Amino acid sequence: EVHLVESGGGLVQPGGSLRLSCAASGFTFSTYSMSWVRQAPGKGLEWVSAINGGDGTISYADSVKGRFTISRDDTKNTLYLQMNNLQPADSAVYYCAKSEGAWYNPKREYDGWGQGTQVTVSS
């Protein structure tokens, strides 16, 4: 079965940086698009970024473009999110999620989720 485990969250000051990791198992990692999705307290899920399987095409939400970088290491079955210039509005639980296929499609549900890692940006 699909198993995803996030790590790397924590408390950081505004303007600081964190690097999140997602360790994947139970499927052929390199084949599938992977995403980061976040949920702030009292708010709904917000898609953050995606990276395709195969061609590696990357996309970002406008709110994080220029500050966050998604990457993957298919030899380690690991997804990453480098977060720079963090703002209080970035505070959320961050989840990694597996798409059904190689390409990110915002109209399709994810078929695998991790438990999430907490990111708190505060002075």
Is 89 strand, coil or helix?
A: helix
The pLDDT, as a whole number, for residue 113 is 97
The pLDDT, as a whole number, for residue 64 is 98
Q: What residues contact residue 65 under an 8 Å CB cut-off, 6+ apart?
A: none
pLDDT in tens, the chain (123 residues): 999 999 999 999 999 999 999 999 999 999 999 999 999 999 999 999 999 998 999 999 999 999 999 999 999 999 999 999 999 999 999 999 999 999 999 889 999 999 999 999 999
The pLDDT, as a whole number, for residue 107 is 87
8 Å CB contact between 84 and 121: no
